[in-house]
Structure 1
Amino acid sequence: METMALWRSTFIVSAMTMLSRVLGLVRDIVLLNVFGAGKDFDTFVVAFRIPNFFRRLFAEGAFSQAFIPILTEYKSTKTHAEVQILISRVFGCLATFMTALTFIAMIAAPAILYIYAPGFHDDPEKFALATDMFRLTIPYLLFMSLTAFASSILNSYGSFSTPAFAPVLLNITMIAAAWWLTPYMAEPIMALGWAVVVAGVLQLAIQIPELWHKKLLIPPKVDFKHEGVDRIMKLMLPALFGVSVTQINLLLNTIWASFMQDGSVSWLYSAERMTELPLGLIGVAIGTVILPSLSARHAEQDQVKFRGMIDWAAKVVMLVGIPASIALFMLSTPIIQALFQRGQFTLEDTQMTALALQCMSAGVISFMLIKVFAPGFYAQQDTKTPVRVGLMAVAANAILNVIFIGFFKLIDWQAEHMALALASSGSALVNAGMLYFYLHKRDIFRFGAHWKKLFLQFAIANISMIAVLWYALTWYNSELSQWIRIFEVIGLCVVGVLAYSIGLIATGFRPRHLKH
């Protein structure tokens, strides 16, 4: 029954995430078609990435990982009235802190931009536009922090559909702004800034009715001395770093990319968006679903079920993540051509983005495994281990950036942004590998004997898919219209999935093997 519940919840989150990611692709197609991969879009990507960075750092990242285990513990051991008091106090403290942070960020916008994208400072017009865009979009941080708070509560109570649907509104709002608001703006790109703010309000608003229905919409009260708030803050401080390694690496990459040729930020952004499709569909969905369940098993001191949940999640991630990584690498150029190459997005943009995607695809499975392994520590209220691992990953990213950028400069190749993508993949591998090392060392989770057969089955199925895709690509025609190219890519994906599925079945793999 528990496996079915996990599958049901994972399916709901995956379905909503798939809708969000598909609309996200439509959004990126529209935006790149309207604005191209040049100065203006580089400016928006940088300005929007900053509130996104802080959102994931303070809200969806560290806050959720610290709040959900404590809230789950309160649900299991205390009365509903005590849970309501905890929610009220956390609400008040979070809103107060994030409001103050938002105002400080607006005032310090030029300094933040100088740190985040120092290369923009050489172009005063570009820097000024980025500063204005950042000041416009930073309130998104406050609204999304409260949205993450509401989502964490609903997820802890087994409600996943509304929180998972919320990101869809951001994509719809940005598409609408690009099409209809842009012509009325003195700086057309600023339409996207207004869309971001509106989307933040909408994502919070749609969760209020469900919180009210569950009697969890409690008026905020500021009390930093409350026992639950105090514990959450203590868990958050190290978690701020541990859960945000990816975002910190993206920050470092953006700093590097700001010194590279115009378009570098946009190429990396477009490639990153493609890797987020499988990551969001499975990795994020699994991580979202298992954290409350792992926290409950830890509160019950049921180590067998705790270990079994991680094992189940790892199977699902491996089943989907490995072929997704391979397919993104092999189909990088057809995918980018089919989705983005039109309007202001040129053939050169396609080629540069495809190179970045190939480099990033190597890290997809690692990013997915991080979403499985990290909750194993957070559910036990251990935030120090992910921090230790995070430090290693950030150090690896910094070192690899220097090595790869130096290499590309040495060979004088005008695709330095590839170095940043390769470094991100390498850093993710270090992160996932070290998380597993500590899980194994502490006997929390390890790949048991049954994984030997699974790895062999996965290997055979993936080799089958590679062979079929290699042959099918010889039929791909890049000279056709965009819609025909889209159908060609869909056909390639279907062929790949069929080859992979047949390979799995031929090796004896069956859905029942995913039970825990």
Structure 2
Amino acid sequence: MAKSKIVKAAGAISLATTFSRILGYIKDMILAKYFGATGISDVFFVAFRIPNLLRELFAEGSMSSAVIPVLKESQIKNGQEETQKIVKSLFTFIMIVVGIITILGIIFSPLIVKLIAPGFVENPQKFDLTVLLTRIMFPFLLFISLAALTMGTLNTNNIFFIPALAPCFLNIAIIIFIVGFSSLFFNPIISVAVGVTVGGALQWLVQTPTFYKNGFKFGIAPFHSALKKIAILVIPTTIAMAVNQINIFVSTIIASFLPEGSVTYLYYSMRLIQLPIGIFGVAVGMAVLPTLSQHVAEGKKDIFTKDFTFSLKFLFFLTIPSTLGLMMLKEPIINTLFQRGVFDITATINTAQALLFYSIGIIGTVGSRTITATFYSIQDTKTPVICAATAMLTNVIVSIALMNSMQHKGLALAYSVAATVQFFMLGYFIKRKIPQISFNSIISSFLKSFVAAFISVSIAKLICEINPSLWLHSEKMFLKFIWLACAISVAAFFYLVLCYLLKHEELGYILKKIRRQG
């Protein structure tokens, strides 16, 4: 029953996240067409790093992970009325604390930009524009924090689709402001920043009808004792859950000293690896946290162990083929999605190089999310902090070591090395914490997925290489979409067939569920 709940929740989140990613790539294609890989695009991506980092630190990452176990425990032990009091108290806290942080961020934006992009200081025009964009986007932090609270509350009630669909409205807002309003601003890039802030507000507001429908209300409430428990979880959770964004933050600082366009190459390649991370890694991590938290509250240790093992195997079954797909089909993918207008073949090649090295870290990143969620379900936030701190240190050291010899490629590789180190450390410590966990079955499942995916993606690569010149030019966009879609579809078909022949347990479980529903 619990496995079914995890799969169903992960499916709902993955479907909604897919819609959001599709809109995100449409947004990125429009950004690439309008602004290319130039100094002006670097300015926006650096400015957006700041509210995006704070979003991970104070909103989606830490808040959801700390709130869900506490709310689930309150529901089981104290009932819905007491849980409602906690939610109102959290709303009051966010409005006050995050509101103050937002105001301070707007005031001290020049100092923040100096810290995150010191290489921009020598160019006053570039620096001033980055400060302006940062100020416009800082309110995004408050809206996204309220959206995260709403999402965590709904997830606790096993409602996943609407919260996961909400980010679509961020992408929609940005697209509308670029296409419809960019000509109204003295610098067109300002329209993107305005779209980010408006989209953040929409991301919160679209969840509120479901929030109220399920018996919750926003309102001012006094300090609740559960807030202290959440705060104790949030502080270390903030560090651990935000490790990916902090690693990107470090990369941005170093990339500001590299040749123009480096920040943009890293941004677009990072956007691509966010596809499997978002659709599968985040989905499974979000789906498993309420279920494992419930097992802990009810004292069901055996079911807890089985569901953790299943979640990790299921995650790798989904993620490995997309990881190898990004690595082996990198040029056709980037050419199809981004190469048009100002984004030329040079930008495609440089972005593809970054994508290759970023992709190495996908497995570590998604695996870390699920294991980290497992630690949070047992309300252990110290161990993920140790692993995250080690990963961040690894990223800094490897980035500095490789920045001169490999430039932006070295920064992407450093991210992957750090993600892999974090994953293996988390795996080691969760095994020590819960000795009943067996990694033998996880490794066996991983190898089956890898073999099946490698053969399948190799076939897709051969299909793309039938017409190699197609991926060198900017035109024939529709033909390239069709060609690439066919290659990926063939790979997906062979992957499922090979997994079936290899008697893959996770595929067998999915087929069994389909037969029962049929």
Shared fold, TM over 0.5: yes
CA distance in structure 1 between the partners assigned to 2:412 and 2:222 by the alignment: 42
User: 419, 434, 457: which one pairs with 1:428?
Assistant: 419
CA distance in structure 2 between the partners assigned to 1:156 and 1:345 by the alignment: 43
Q: Is the 8 A contact 1:93 1:222 kept in 2?
A: no
What does residue 304 of structure 1 align with?
A: 302
Q: Is the 8 A contact 2:464 2:483 kept in 1?
A: no
What does residue 162 of structure 1 align with?
A: 162
Change (3 A) 1:449 1:397: closer
User: 463, 466, 469: which one pairs with 1:475?
Assistant: 466
Matched, 1:43 2:43: yes
CA distance in structure 2 between the partners assigned to 1:77 and 1:363 by the alignment: 40
SS of alignment partner, residue 365 of structure 1: helix
Q: Is the 8 A contact 1:178 1:191 kept in 2?
A: yes
CA distance in structure 2 between the partners assigned to 1:353 and 1:453 by the alignment: 33
Shifted more, 469-478 versus 396-405: the winner is 469-478
The alpha-carbon deviation at position 455 of structure 1 amounts to 3.8
Q: Is the 8 A contact 1:307 1:444 kept in 2?
A: no
Change (3 A) 1:402 1:352: same
The alpha-carbon deviation at position 233 of structure 1 amounts to 0.8
| Matched ranges for 1:446-461 at <5 A | 446-451=437-442, 453-461=444-452
Q: Is the 8 A contact 2:317 2:445 kept in 1?
A: no
CA distance in structure 2 between the partners assigned to 1:314 and 1:264 by the alignment: 34
Q: Is the 8 A contact 1:20 1:165 kept in 2?
A: yes
The alpha-carbon deviation at position 474 of structure 1 amounts to 2.2
SS of alignment partner, residue 475 of structure 1: coil
Matched, 1:371 2:344: no
Matched, 1:7 2:7: yes
Amino acid at match of 1:32: A
User: 467, 481, 501: which one pairs with 2:496?
Assistant: 501
Q: What CA deviation, in whole Å up to 9, does each residue of 1:341-366 have, x standing for no partner?
A: 00111111111100000111111111
What does residue 486 of structure 2 align with?
A: 491
Q: Is the 8 A contact 1:65 1:239 kept in 2?
A: yes
Q: Is the 8 A contact 1:310 1:445 kept in 2?
A: no
CA distance in structure 1 between the partners assigned to 2:203 and 2:300 by the alignment: 36
What does residue 274 of structure 1 align with?
A: 272
CA distance in structure 2 between the partners assigned to 1:459 and 1:383 by the alignment: 31
Amino acid at match of 1:461: A
Matched, 1:182 2:178: no
Amino acid at match of 1:155: N
CA distance in structure 1 between the partners assigned to 2:499 and 2:59 by the alignment: 39
Matched, 1:359 2:350: no
Shifted more, 205-214 versus 143-152: the winner is 205-214
Cα root mean square deviation, aligned: 1.6
SS of alignment partner, residue 37 of structure 1: coil
CA distance in structure 2 between the partners assigned to 1:335 and 1:373 by the alignment: 30
CA distance in structure 1 between the partners assigned to 2:104 and 2:443 by the alignment: 53
What does residue 412 of structure 1 align with?
A: none
User: 489, 508, 512: which one pairs with 2:508?
Assistant: 512
The alpha-carbon deviation at position 101 of structure 1 amounts to 0.2
Matched, 1:83 2:83: yes
Q: Calculate the TM-score normalised by the size of structure 1.
A: 0.95
The alpha-carbon deviation at position 456 of structure 1 amounts to 4.2
CA distance in structure 2 between the partners assigned to 1:452 and 1:194 by the alignment: 46
Change (3 A) 1:467 1:192: closer
Amino acid at match of 1:356: A
Q: Calculate the TM-score normalised by the size of structure 2.
A: 0.95
Q: Is the 8 A contact 2:76 2:297 kept in 1?
A: yes
Q: What CA deviation, in whole Å up to 9, does each residue of 1:254-289 have, x standing for no partner?
A: 000111111111110000011111111111111111
Amino acid at match of 1:101: I
What does residue 313 of structure 1 align with?
A: 311
CA distance in structure 1 between the partners assigned to 2:413 and 2:269 by the alignment: 12
The alpha-carbon deviation at position 406 of structure 1 amounts to 4.0
The alpha-carbon deviation at position 513 of structure 1 amounts to 4.5
| Matched ranges for 1:28-427 at <5 A | 28-223=28-223, 226-408=224-406, 416-427=407-418
The alpha-carbon deviation at position 463 of structure 1 amounts to 3.5
Amino acid at match of 1:82: E
The alpha-carbon deviation at position 469 of structure 1 amounts to 3.1
What does residue 443 of structure 1 align with?
A: 434
SS of alignment partner, residue 122 of structure 1: coil
The alpha-carbon deviation at position 205 of structure 1 amounts to 1.0
Unaligned runs of 5+ in 2: 514-518
SS of alignment partner, residue 485 of structure 2: helix
Q: Is the 8 A contact 2:339 2:345 kept in 1?
A: yes
Q: Is the 8 A contact 1:37 1:344 kept in 2?
A: yes
Q: What CA deviation, in whole Å up to 9, does each residue of 1:271-326 have, x standing for no partner?
A: 00111111111111111111111111111111111112211111111112222111
CA distance in structure 2 between the partners assigned to 1:297 and 1:359 by the alignment: 38
Amino acid at match of 1:397: N
Change (3 A) 1:15 1:459: closer
The alpha-carbon deviation at position 450 of structure 1 amounts to 3.4
User: Number of paired residues?
Assistant: 507
CA distance in structure 2 between the partners assigned to 1:326 and 1:50 by the alignment: 31
Q: Is the 8 A contact 1:84 1:218 kept in 2?
A: no
